[in-house]
Chain A
Amino acid sequence: MEVTIIYMKDDVCHFLIEGVDVAFANALRRTMLTRVPSMAIDEVLILENTSVMYDEMLAHRLGLIPLVTPLEDYNHPDECDCEGKGCSLCQCTLTLEVEAEGEEKLVYSGDLMSQDPKVVPASDKIPLVKLAPGQRIIIEAYARLGTGRENAKFQPVSTVAYKYVPVVSIDTKACDRCGVCVEICPKKIFRLEGDVLSTQNTLECSLCELCVKECEPNAITIDSKPDSFLFKVESTGALEPTVIIEKALDILKERIRIALDFANLL
């Protein structure tokens, strides 16, 4: 197995993984989606809410805010010594206290005050509710670790997808340089310069095969490598994409070990 990072910026990571089969690629994808823990607000205590928004809706919006997660500092409530009751080792309290005095006021995720300076909203600019003059909200929210298996708000990623590595080949003898493929390709894979048809950024190819359909002399073939996959991982901001991938591989390894141990017992 070989991993090459193709692109990495802020919350996005594209990488190429070679020498694995589809089952492994999909297992990795699903582990990143549903098994990697991250923090989110799970319980909300509404002390006062005179805004036009219902308590439930406000609580729901709070739950969806991605929180920066220090994985080492917190226990999963099910594995904590407090047996899921909630203690400082498995829970983080955030408070939100805003009042609109003279004029209308937008409440942002950045107004949340966290008990732990490491657990803060990944983005400070998420509007939560708008307050009319005189309206007030006082809220206590409890964040905890969870996994995407429980609720999608705990997913550390917004998208993880993989595709086969495209192999675009041109039969130069059959090609009549009509240039139809250059026009039709939505990803601009082909380039016709003078009398030479060449390919560029072939990794971008979405395997739509429009070029194959449109090419009169059938000079283009699109194939894919069976054992290589292009992954796109997009973090919500809760965890770094590299951490998500590493953590997912650790979890996958552990789960395979448990399955093998069980199989050996039979």
Chain B
Amino acid sequence: MIIPVRCFTCGKVVADKYEEFRRQVRQGADPAEVLDNLGLHRYCCRRMLLAHIDIIDSFMAFATIGAEEAKQSE
């Protein structure tokens, strides 16, 4: 759904590094190097970012309650 707050295995906070990771990888940086620079040295934490797919945006396409309320208030 959205990037997990912590690494499942070791408990290190990984969520705050995800946006930076995605930004740099999109710009063409080597994911391994980005992860090293972000301080994610263990493979348990690295897979958290590498294997993550953000699907909250797809869910948000079906959000109706908020949209209806917004329409009413207009």
Contact = CB atoms under 8 A, between A and B. Distances in A.
A55 to B, nearest CB: 14
A159 B67 contact: no
A133 interface: yes
Contacts of B56: 52-53, 129-130
B4 to A, nearest CB: 8
A66 interface: yes
Interface string B42-74: 100000000000001101101101111111010
B34 interface: no
Q: Name B's interface SS.
A: helix
Interface centre among B7, B16, B73 (most CB of A within 10 A): B16
Contact of A53 (B2, B15, B62): B2
B1 A132 contact: no
B3 interface: yes
A64 B3 CA distance: 13
Which DSSP category, helix, strand, loop or mixed, fits chain A's interface? loop
A236 B71 CA distance: 42
Contacts, number: 83
A158 B59 contact: no
Nearest to B73: A134
A122 interface: yes
- A interface residue count range (under 10 / 10 to 19 / 20 to 34 / 35 or more): 35 or more
Interface string A127-140: 11111111110000
B12 A234 contact: yes
A125 interface: yes
B22 to A, nearest CB: 11
Contacts of B7: 158
Contacts of A234: 12
A53 B5 CA distance: 14
Interface of A: 50-53, 57, 61, 64-66, 100, 104, 109, 122-136, 152, 155, 157-159, 234, 236-237
